[in-house]
A and B are shown apart, each in its own frame.
Chain A
Amino acid sequence: MLLNQEQIKLILPHREPFLFIDEVIEIHGKDKIVAVKRINKDESYLGGHFPGRPIMPGVLIVEAMAQASILLYSVCKPEIARGNPEYYLGKVKSEFLSPVFPGDELIIEAISVKITDNAGIADATARVKDVTVAKASLVFGIKK
Chain B
Amino acid sequence: MSNGYEEELRALVSEIIEIPPERLTLNADFIDDLNVDSLRAIEIVAAFEKKYRLVIPEEDIPKIRTLGKLIEYTKDLQ
User: Max chain A CB contacts within 10 Å: which of B39, B50, B58, B61?
Assistant: B39
**B interface residues, tally (CB under 8 Å):** 12
A71 at the interface (CB under 8 A from B): no
Q: How many A-B residue pairs have CB under 8 A?
A: 31
Contact indicator per residue, chain B 8-49, by CB within 8 Å of chain A (1) or not (0): 000000000000000000000000000001110111011001
Bound CA–CA A30/B45 (angstroms): 18
Neighbouring A residues of B38 by C-beta, 8 Å:
116, 118-119, 141
Report the contact-size class of chain A (Cβ under 8 Å from the partner). 10 to 19
User: Max chain A CB contacts within 10 Å: which of B37, B38, B45, B61?
Assistant: B38
Q: Is the interface of B mostly helix, strand, loop or mixed?
A: helix
Bound CA–CA A140/B49 (angstroms): 18
Cβ B58 vs Cβ A117 within 8 A: yes
The residue on B at minimum CB distance from A113 is B46
Cβ B61 vs Cβ A139 within 8 A: no
Report 24 cross-chain contacts, Cβ distance below 8 Å, ordered by A residue. A90-B39, A91-B39, A91-B43, A113-B50, A114-B42, A114-B46, A114-B49, A116-B38, A116-B45, A116-B58, A118-B38, A119-B38, A119-B39, A119-B41, A119-B42, A120-B42, A121-B42, A121-B43, A139-B39, A139-B42, A139-B43, A140-B39, A141-B38, A141-B39
